[in-house]
A and B are shown apart, each in its own frame.
Chain A
């Protein structure tokens, strides 16, 4: 409750209002305390004079007082004041917005003395005043005020109010000389009030915008032309010359009055909010309105139920196979209510049946967005996603397909079909990746083939021969030890493999090498084993987390087989090994993934003694393609090949 307001009202109406208030508002807790204290000021000095004046109004005053007392809880509520702040006086004096009128006091013909008194009571610092320079002194200039530029728009032209603008408040217009020389008597000046002495009726003004409040600081101070005088003043001058004009006439003849937007403009200017319209009727208090009663809410509900009807009809059509009609109904429903979940689900199902899976997925997703708990939507969406994934698989877009399956799984973890499909896909992807690798290897070999010229090959071969001869001498003695060492080393390495990337790479290498060596063998059986092995032990692409977990087992299997393979190896294979190792060395390292592997291995694998003659064993792996360039001389190195094979397994050789 606004106490001051209440007090003001009580002061005006007297004690009768107080008693009325007491009786009407006795139930209102806000008033009980107020009425207790508010009683005192009225009791104080019983104002004799005002009462006399009011006696005339006594009769209807009672009615008004009754009204006040009945509505007091609304009228004096703190929330009653306008919530929307009145647009702070940005003086849009423009003719067009509303009818700008001459000051009221001019019409009322209030005596100058009162106007003057009221002016000095109401003027505030920061108000803009406009006046004419009357005299210029060394310490500043004097101006006679003619009108106001902001705040209260009063008629003061004839009041002969002067204001002083001291020198320090005059900005200089040139670098040297007296700033006052810029001004002349008779200039119209716009200035801001800086100081007020209300008692002595003295004003000090300034030409600096710092004297103005922030919302007015854009207004230019200083000399202005007569066109820039405010509209109300000009109207006021007109009125003076033609004092018979009435307020109403002036208003109605003003262009701004007939502006269609005048009501809205003025409402904003006065701070009245139309969106929450005020009323003193009990039934119309806005707190009694529930959101559900409003037209837009009702419309929505209605549209939703209308749309549902259409969907039902559409589903019936669908069941008898009239797909076109069904689609029409669904579309109609969606036009009525764009977010209708049932319609979207039904339409999605229709799309899916017809085969436009992408559209179906869109619809289902939209439906789920609006209603995440819709069981059917979820179910259908999963199914459609899996189907789409299947389609993509057939089109060989595996990653895409995978993402669809995963999406289906995230939506519904128990969806068996999606799981199965995903796993199948992964296997297939493995296979295809391996295939691709083989392809790449083949290509590389072909490339290596191209790079080498026959002359170089010859030279290499000759070198190799020499090395192999040396090795032969060493290897024959130590072959058995090497092979045993291999096993121990490899087993130890496998046991320590679990966290070790390096060893994994090595093993991968090993598996690759074993594979590639086997690949080119003439043995069909081994190739079969190879294939199986590939399925099991080729590491799954990086995005599946399981790859490294399986690795250890794979490698152990691999090692077991490796041992067997040593005995299986043919001369041809061994033959192949030899030039392979040497030739691969000189090949420039530009084969993408595999060269990456190369590098890794060459760094990490130190050379062990026995196979020292063949330094870069680690690189041996891939270039099986160059096996085909064997020459008869290699046949000699049969035994040595064994060593080399085992050297492959040896982590030291890499």
Chain B
């Protein structure tokens, strides 16, 4: 089940990038998607249609409006990579209608709560604060920011966004990025409070570990998908 969800999540990310969507709208789309399938039965709906509709809806929510024609084109391309773009015939317009209908359905299922707090803003602020504390040469040669951002984006392939708080995800992602490169936060040992605790008061080490391990899990699933 979750495996399947992941496929769709991947699909969405793929589509999102090709549509030129920014990180936040993609995140919203994925969150909507995951949330929808939490509330409903997985078999009841065509996941691809839901994916397209959630992209469309997210575009509206995050002020990066996308045209349905583009969404349909890109999705179609995903399935028929070598085929020609769809003809603008009646079948096409029916597809479009179904996306619009689906959008309304999703809104109702989600009780019209489609605006989310994403970890992205938090992560960026944390990065700025950390940057000032680290030695600048160390910062420049270590791509902490890029890695953290990539990790955060990839986390949407799974349902992390639903299970953890935005701030926690942001911290965990940053933590992992620092770990990967072996970067130590200066005077960490001597500090009264660890840096990750500073960023989010109610965060504990176990939570970080949970998030990190889930995140790594997502990547392993990625390699299993053909």
Report B-chain residues with C-beta under 8 Å of the C-beta of A80. Answer: 143, 146-147
Instruction: Write the A232-266 contact mask toward B (1 if CB under 8 angstroms, else 0).
Output: 00000000000000111001000001001011001
Instruction: Write the B110-147 contact mask toward A (1 if CB under 8 angstroms, else 0).
Output: 00000000001110110111111101100001110111
A82 and B145 in contact, given A99-B125, A270-B127, A299-B73 (Cβ under 8 angstroms)? yes
A301 and B124 in contact, given A67-B219, A281-B10 (Cβ under 8 angstroms)? no
Q: Which of A274-305 contact B (CB under 8 A)?
A: 274, 277-284, 286, 289, 293-296, 298-299, 301-302, 305
Report A-chain residues with C-beta under 8 Å of the C-beta of B77. Answer: 293, 298
Contact assessment for B146 and A81 in the assembled complex, using a CB-CB cutoff below 8 Å? yes
Report B-chain residues with C-beta under 8 Å of the C-beta of A552. Answer: none
Instruction: Tell me, rounded to whole Å, the shortest Cβ–Cβ distance linking B157 to chain A.
Output: 7
Number of interface residues of B (CB under 8 A): 79
Instruction: Write the A104-136 contact mask toward B (1 if CB under 8 angstroms, else 0).
Output: 110111110011001001101000000000000
**Residue from B71, B132, B142, B143 in contact with A152 in the complex, judged by beta carbons closer than 8 Å:** B132
Report A-chain residues with C-beta under 8 Å of the C-beta of B44. Answer: none
Q: CB of A68 within 8 A of chain B?
A: yes
A114 and B190 in contact, given A247-B199, A278-B146, A289-B17 (Cβ under 8 angstroms)? yes
A298–B69 alpha-carbon span in the complex (Å)? 9
Contact assessment for A295 and B219 in the assembled complex, using a CB-CB cutoff below 8 Å? no
Report A-chain residues with C-beta under 8 Å of the C-beta of B22. Answer: 263, 274
A110 and B187 in contact, given A293-B77, A295-B20, A302-B69 (Cβ under 8 angstroms)? yes
Q: CB of A269 within 8 A of chain B?
A: yes
Report B-chain residues with C-beta under 8 Å of the C-beta of A262. Answer: 121, 124
Give A274's nearest chain B residue, CB to CB. B22
The stretch that binds B, out of A2-10, A323-331, A367-375, is A2-10
Report A-chain residues with C-beta under 8 Å of the C-beta of B225. Answer: 283
A293 and B132 in contact, given A99-B125, A109-B193 (Cβ under 8 angstroms)? no
**Residue from A67, A154, A260 in contact with B216 in the complex, judged by beta carbons closer than 8 Å:** A67
A108 and B136 in contact, given A75-B180, A289-B18 (Cβ under 8 angstroms)? no
Report A-chain residues with C-beta under 8 Å of the C-beta of B213. Answer: 60, 63
A13–B182 alpha-carbon span in the complex (Å)? 7
Q: CB of B24 within 8 A of chain A?
A: yes
Q: CB of A610 within 8 A of chain B?
A: no
**Residue from A67, A107, A289, A301 in contact with B193 in the complex, judged by beta carbons closer than 8 Å:** A107
Contact assessment for B180 and A68 in the assembled complex, using a CB-CB cutoff below 8 Å? yes
A568–B130 alpha-carbon span in the complex (Å)? 113
Instruction: Tell me, rounded to whole Å, the shortest Cβ–Cβ distance linking B152 to chain A.
Output: 10
Q: CB of B34 within 8 A of chain A?
A: no
Contact assessment for A81 and B143 in the assembled complex, using a CB-CB cutoff below 8 Å? yes
| Interface bin, chain A | 35 or more
Give A306's nearest chain B residue, CB to CB. B88
A270–B151 alpha-carbon span in the complex (Å)? 16
A298 and B193 in contact, given A103-B133, A152-B132 (Cβ under 8 angstroms)? no
Report A-chain residues with C-beta under 8 Å of the C-beta of B131. Answer: 270
Q: CB of B176 within 8 A of chain A?
A: yes
Instruction: Write the B137-181 contact mask toward A (1 if CB under 8 angstroms, else 0).
Output: 000011101110111011001000000000100000000100111
Instruction: Tell me, rounded to whole Å, the shortest Cβ–Cβ distance linking B86 to chain A.
Output: 7
Contact assessment for B128 and A277 in the assembled complex, using a CB-CB cutoff below 8 Å? no
Q: CB of A433 within 8 A of chain B?
A: no
Instruction: Tell me, rounded to whole Å, the shortest Cβ–Cβ distance linking B185 to chain A.
Output: 8
8 A-B pairs closest in CB distance: A12-B182, A109-B192, A298-B73, A266-B124, A295-B70, A278-B150, A108-B191, A302-B85
A-B contact pairs, 25 of them (CB 8 A): A5-B181, A66-B216, A104-B132, A105-B133, A108-B192, A115-B187, A246-B201, A247-B129, A247-B200, A248-B199, A248-B200, A266-B124, A266-B127, A277-B23, A278-B153, A279-B154, A282-B222, A283-B222, A283-B225, A284-B13, A295-B74, A298-B70, A301-B84, A302-B73, A305-B84
